[in-house]
Structure 1
């Protein structure tokens, strides 16, 4: 599939009058956000009739655009960047970059889907257009926050130069559903924590997280309804296996990444591990509403094995940072890649929980 190079980022996502420096994108790794493309013909041909009423209701919610006046900067942003110490500044810029890239990835995918299928599947195209609008708004707001630190991502450059991963439509549904729902729980958890501990609010962007995460939640609800309109994605053995795979991939990636940058969460007064355990548990619980199975994330062995991934990742990072020649680096990394593959296999083979028997936590 050809990357959507024809999709130009909105003006809100590029340049500012202050002309901040263009930040060089971080090197792609297994933990960095990816850009996706899919089978547009298959998406256009989808029959929505099995769940058309719910999808139309969700589209009507999108049309109302509840957050159209929400992302407006105020005087709190003036000088806020100058108050951060160098280490907090570094990890916060990293958070902004990763978040902006992730939101922009969603914008590109949804915008291209809307453009490609609008003539054959107008309801689906309209839903994707509204979600692209939301993601563009989020990415622009994050990129503007980066400009407070004298930096900005060149999103047009990313559009044309970043590698695109092809996913079949069903895989897009699983991955984006989880991305949106985990985004909701991540944002609302931070917002509620900072409500109780305002002294840990290092930057005013967190004031926007409550309404912001509702966009994520609505997007996740859309993919929930879309999967129910395509029953094969959430019923049968193949669906159970793929749902397990994507749950594990999303949870493991988040945990390893967040523990590796725990300083950001410490700056907010959070423990990265406890925060991730909460977010993963709530996302797993939410996923039981549509996925046929979910993971046994309350099993201590699940977290022990994630910790082994964290340790292996630290060794991989140390090998990469060394001054050794590339072949020697690869040789040093090999045992840890093998160990990671083994741990992921063990995690995947842990018995899942059928969603109809899943019991939400009592809190």
Structure 2
């Protein structure tokens, strides 16, 4: 039963209507498609043992019984975290379900039986995650219509080699994001304001398995990544993912509610992801440098200034604020270009005998812990 069915005050019930899931204003949705003919042209037969081992691991479905709610997840009053928790759930559900759509499309059309079976299992996992998050949004009374996502017409095309890079980073970052939150909340359980976070530890293992598959695809197709230009593009793709996460998270207040310093958390996730990625493609971005953080902060301040400018863009000030917005946008492009121009460290990718290793566990989460009052979600009185 939806939480708004209980005796709550009318000010909470009269929230603004949730926008359509396909609205580009909401999350700037990006749903991807790729070239299936190119995928089918990739030969993995020389690495059959690795793909078969991965297929067996995926088909074991280790989390088949994991995502089941206990009674303490029902009939909660979400007012203390109304906006920031919903934003977190919505963004996470969108990411999970967009992965489900991509993987579902691929597995139905791919010829290699092992690769097809793995994509099918990943679609199963991502759909399960998205449905789990959507259940919480329904309990909040703010349903997110996942069924509307396949109706978004403008799918962004990426060639297979960049789909592998993008999805590898997405899955690896997902693992480090969720696992860092899970480790933090196990150490400081007073900030675990919702039962959802109890599920993150096992959930993360799905994300790590997915990243291991895409790492294997990248490693077994070196012809797609040879040359200085493609190495540079790999670095740019990687930086774009890191920057996007950082700039989105600076707008979210959910991390403070969880007792987390969002920037220290983001920089930790970025660094841990980059260590894992360097073992795949041999490029280590200098993510621990103060110069790297300064470029991110410059973009953050430009975005914050643009947000203030939009609020002031009325009457005769509007042309001036619009012009400044483009200047700051150009400034962000410059900061990204400076990051791309910074020489990376070259490292030796993992040898074949280490290709099926999982990404390392996160380091101690104490570095991003905040001392703030924890939030609570009381049960709705009946």
Q: How does 1:15-94 map to 2 (within 5 A)?
A: 23-25=19-21, 28=24, 32-80=28-76, 82=77, 84-85=79-80, 88-94=81-87
CA shift, 1:122, in A, is: 2.2
Aligned match of 1:279? 269
Residues 309 and 340 in structure 1, CA contact (< 8 A), matched pair in contact too: yes
Q: How does 1:207-226 map to 2 (within 5 A)?
A: 207-226=198-217
Cα distance in structure 2, aligned partners of 1:29 and 1:52: 44
Cα distance in structure 1, aligned partners of 2:363 and 2:87: 35
What secondary structure is seen at the aligned counterpart in 2 of 1:356?
coil
Of 334, 339, 347, 1:347 maps to 339
Change (3 A) 1:293 1:268: same
Aligned match of 1:172? 163
Q: How does 1:150-299 map to 2 (within 5 A)?
A: 150-161=141-152, 163-261=154-252, 263-299=253-289
Indicate the larger mover: 92-101 or 230-239: 230-239
Residues 55 and 226 in structure 1, CA contact (< 8 A), matched pair in contact too: no
Of 328, 331, 336, 1:336 maps to 328
CA shift, 1:72, in A, is: 0.5
CA shift, 1:121, in A, is: 2.2
1:223-270 Cα offsets, whole Å, 9 max, x none, are 011111111244432332122112101111111111121x21000000
CA shift, 1:178, in A, is: 0.3
Q: Number of residue pairs matched?
A: 341
Larger Rg computed on CA atoms = 2
Aligned match of 2:125? 134
CA shift, 1:83, in A, is: 5.2
TM-score normalised over the length of structure 1: 0.87
CA shift, 1:59, in A, is: 1.0
Indicate the larger mover: 331-340 or 30-39: 30-39
Of 71, 81, 105, 2:98 maps to 105
Residues 23 and 153 in structure 1, CA contact (< 8 A), matched pair in contact too: no
CA shift, 1:319, in A, is: 3.4
Change (3 A) 1:203 1:362: closer
Indicate the larger mover: 238-247 or 193-202: 238-247
What secondary structure is seen at the aligned counterpart in 2 of 1:153?
coil
Please report the RMSD computed on the Cα atoms of aligned residues, expressed in angstroms: 2.6
CA shift, 1:351, in A, is: 1.2
1:192-235 Cα offsets, whole Å, 9 max, x none, are 00001111112110000000010000000000111111112444
Residues 295 and 352 in structure 1, CA contact (< 8 A), matched pair in contact too: yes
Structure 2: which 5+ runs fail to align?
A: 6-16, 351-359, 365-382
Of 288, 297, 302, 1:307 maps to 297
Change (3 A) 1:203 1:33: farther
1:131-165 Cα offsets, whole Å, 9 max, x none, are 00000000000111101110111122221025311
Residues 48 and 229 in structure 1, CA contact (< 8 A), matched pair in contact too: yes
Change (3 A) 1:222 1:257: same
CA shift, 1:329, in A, is: 5.7
Change (3 A) 1:282 1:271: same
CA shift, 1:330, in A, is: 4.0
Residues 283 and 347 in structure 2, CA contact (< 8 A), matched pair in contact too: yes
CA shift, 1:271, in A, is: 0.1
